[in-house]
Amino acid sequence: MSALAEILLSLLIAIGTFFVLVGSFGLFKLSEFFKRLHGPTKASTLGVGCILIASIAFHGLRGDGLGLREILITLFLFLTAPISAHVMARAALRLSPEQRPPQPPAASATMSKAAESDAQASPAAGRGPDAD
């Protein structure tokens, strides 16, 4: 393996480690749930992704072929991290709706007019998408 490849792989690992550290620090230091949720899902996903790309490249350059395990881990990580963050945020909003940010004044007036016209058109339309 060439020295340039080793430097690039080391750089990828260092960048990945930095992002994982930033995500962990965000989880520890940030105050509210939604802020805490943001740190690990964004920064740690990017960090672990860099480390896995470095691992794939290392095995590819060594002649071992592309690591199927690393590719599957990367795919699983990039599919599950945003979905789990979304599910946790929705659950938190359902448990304590007072944490929901207020609507902007212009948008809420436009939305309320649209909701009124929808409610007049269909009695079930005024319930909203989350009505179960």
Q: Report the mean per-residue pLDDT for the chain.
A: 79
pLDDT at 114 over 70: no
pLDDT in tens, 65-81: 777 888 888 888 888 88
The DSSP secondary-structure symbol of 125 reads G
Instruction: Sketch the domain layout of the chain as residue ranges.
Output: 3-118
The sign of the torsion formed by the CA atoms of 8, 9, 11, 16 equals: positive
Q: pTM to 2 decimals?
A: 0.64
> Is there a contact between 16 and 44 (Cβ–Cβ < 8 Å)?
no
% of the chain beyond a pLDDT of 90: 12
